[in-house]
Structure 1
Amino acid sequence: MLGTRLDLDRIHTARRRIDPVFLDTPMYSCDALGRGLGCAVSVKLETANPVRSFKGRGTELVTSLLAEQGRTAVVCASAGNLGQALAWSGRRRGLDVTVVASRRAPATKLDRIRALGAELEVVDGDFELARERAVDIAQRRGIRLLEDSLDIETCEGAATIGLELAGAPFDTVLIALGGGAMATGVGYALKALAPGTEVICVQPGGAPAMTRSWHERRVVTTESADTIADGVAGRYPIPAVLDDLLAIADDAVLVQESSIIAGMRLLLEHAGLVVEPSAALGVAAVLEDRDRFAGRHVVTVLCGSNVDLDAYHRWVRD
């Protein structure tokens, strides 16, 4: 069907492995938000679960497989949300979880990783340095390294969102783009089950590596990432994930920081939702190109709500 690493049968199997607490998240048409944006808007609320992000779908799949294999430990690098999800899923199955994160990650995310029982190692540097350290730990301890987006379970776990979206009446889905797990997973499921759906990936202009790579059809890296959307601030796209994205996405766009903040404010004012910056990327895309979406019915996946409240208050009040 689609020339990717993903498989629809495995995605259906993944759904049966994932704790139901992460499945069938709320989705509804938000008329007030739609009036503010000039199009019909539905929101898919991936924040309504114990780790407040979509990442639990993938970590449930990974940890269930590790437990079946008799494995006892796992390590990952995380900007925050994956680490929380892995800690939650690993604790349920008696796994020792180590998370490596950047000291720049929001304190609220780091605190929740610790609270969920994971061993947290904080490095000076960005996510890419954390990833290098996680690789080193996995090799030294001989344990499983979970690599977000590269490990197909993270993509196919996220793809279960697409299964839930496939029967709904809309024509465009807006998906936050970072490493690519959610974009490739959700996009794949929709292209398989609702091929007429337009899949648009949205990334901050301050962290554009994957979007530039999609447009140039080759891996493009950046020397730095500068965005409040910490959850999608990678600099080194994974070649296999880019190949999947090229087969799935209809477009990839960049948005400004001011639009991300405006999107967060609109979600608070019109939907009563507190979200982290990455979750507002879809709304930001509509704000920057209203004519493109006028008269259409779009769905935006609200991927996380683990936000530092002090920073959030500064953003939405300014």
Structure 2
Amino acid sequence: MQQTRLDLDRIRAARRIIDPVFLDTPLYRCEALEPGLGCAVSIKLETANPVRSFKARGTELVAGLLAGGASPAAVCASAGNLGQALAWSGRDRGIDVTVVASRRAARVKLDRIRALGARLELVDGDHEMARERATAIARHDGIRLVEDSLDVETCEGAATIGLELAHTAPAFDTVLIALGGGALATGVGHVVKALLPGVEVICVQPRGAPAMTRSWHARRVVTTESADTIADGVAGRRPIPEVLDDLLLVADDAVLVEEASIITGMRLLLDHAGLVVEPSAALGIAAILENRDRFAGRHVVTIVCGGNVDMDDYRQWVGLVAA
């Protein structure tokens, strides 16, 4: 395999830096999902931790590098999950954390960022505008800009999920990975291709936010003017060239799914797995729903990557009403 920016030895070493509370997350066969999907389905559950997403695997590495500095500080742009994770990782290491987010971000994510002690700045507009503001703050204040997916630590932290998958049994033959900025897909994909080369790596993105998927198919960066999806965690418009280069080396396919399929996936995970998940976490189930023939007879692992969702929105999406 051609080399990505990631390094397998560093990924293995990362497990010694990441707080164990984020490691060895549950992985289990969910037979209750299978009759409706037509294939064997295992869930890698990345919501059973203090920030309810996989993001802290990466921010633990960033915070570990920053800790001990004279005046350690960092800023990031976030739809919510990265900001929570960086706030959590920085809190006990004495790191001053600033998070820039869109005013349209889920309230539950913004409230949790504040509760974890980070400084929160809101911008009018989308995540790309938050990235621009975070960059300006970093430049003005001379502090570390944490860029999800571009910073290799965020990818190699996520890649530790791949190590855990590689040591599982029974064997699986497909892994479905939510695709946004690319940290999760490039990280897990790198390890899977290195250690489980026969496993198909399929990335999944909403049709309303297709920039990285279009870029993967075109083999060049393709930007979009807007992103329109309930899956806010993967709603970027401007792929990062270095990340796309990595993704081209480890992904076997990248597919787009409809909003209706995402919502159905969320409902299936609630009804048959007892899981309340954010829309991004249901992308893998949505991909199976839209192409049952492709996955028939396979053993598929889907990474349930986050559970930070505004409950009022969630109830509306999945059709829950108060008694």
Q: TM-score under structure 1 normalisation? A: 0.99
Unaligned 5+ segments in structure 1 are none
| Secondary structure, aligned partner of 2:67 | helix
Structure 1 residue 167, shift from structure 2 partner: 2.3
Q: Which residue of 1 aligns with 2:285?
A: 283
The correspondence of residues 1-318 of structure 1 with structure 2, limited to 5 A, is: 1-168=1-168, 169-317=171-319
Q: How far apart are the structure 2 equivalents of 1:10 and 1:115?
A: 32
After superposition, the C-alpha distances for 1:121-153 in whole angstroms (9 at most, x for unaligned) are: 000000000000000000110000000000000
Letter of the aligned partner of 2:183 in structure 1?
A: A
In 2, Cα distance between equivalents of 1:71 and 1:294: 54
Supply the AA of the counterpart residue of 1:193: L
- Paired amino acid for 2:257: V
Superposition deviation, residue 53 in structure 1? 0.1
Letter in 2 for 1:165: L
Q: SS of the residue aligned with 1:149?
A: coil
Q: State the secondary structure of the residue aligned to 1:210.
A: helix
Cα distance between partner residues in 1 of 2:71 and 2:281 = 33
Work out the number of aligned pairs and report it: 318
| Matched position secondary structure for 1:16 | coil
> Displacement, 1:28?
0.1
Structure 2: gaps of 5 or more residues = none
The runs of at least 4 consecutive aligned structure 1 residues that moved more than 2 Å come to: 68-71
1:241 partner letter: V
Structure-2 change in CA distance of 1:275 and 1:187 (3 Å)? same
User: How far off is 1:71 after superposition?
Assistant: 5.0
Amino acid at match of 1:203: Q
Over aligned residue pairs, what C-alpha RMSD do you find?
0.8
In structure 1, distance between residues paired with 2:291 and 2:102: 33
Tell me the distance in 2 between the aligned counterparts of 1:301 and 1:271: 13
CA distance in 2, matches of 1:70, 1:289: 53
SS in 1 for 2:122: strand
Instruction: For 2:298, give the aligned amino acid.
Output: R
Identical-residue share of aligned pairs (%): 79
User: How far did 1:70 drift?
Assistant: 4.5
**Alignment-mate amino acid for residue 14 of structure 1:** A
Q: Helix, strand or coil: the match of 1:65?
A: helix
2: CA distance between counterparts of 1:270 and 1:89? 33
Taking structure 2 as the reference length, the TM-score comes to 0.97
Per-residue deviation, 1:68: 4.5
C-alpha distance in 2 between matches for 1:44 and 1:24 = 10
Deviates more, 1:165-174 or 1:175-184: 165-174
Q: Distance in 1 between matches of 2:71 and 2:319?
A: 47
Quote how far apart the aligned CAs of 1:34 are: 1.4
Aligned partners of 1:69, 1:44: CA distance in 2, in Å? 35
**CA shift for structure 1 position 2:** 3.1
* TM-aligned CA deviation for residue 3 of structure 1: 2.1
Question: Quick one: distance in 2 between partners of 1:145 and 1:27?
Answer: 33
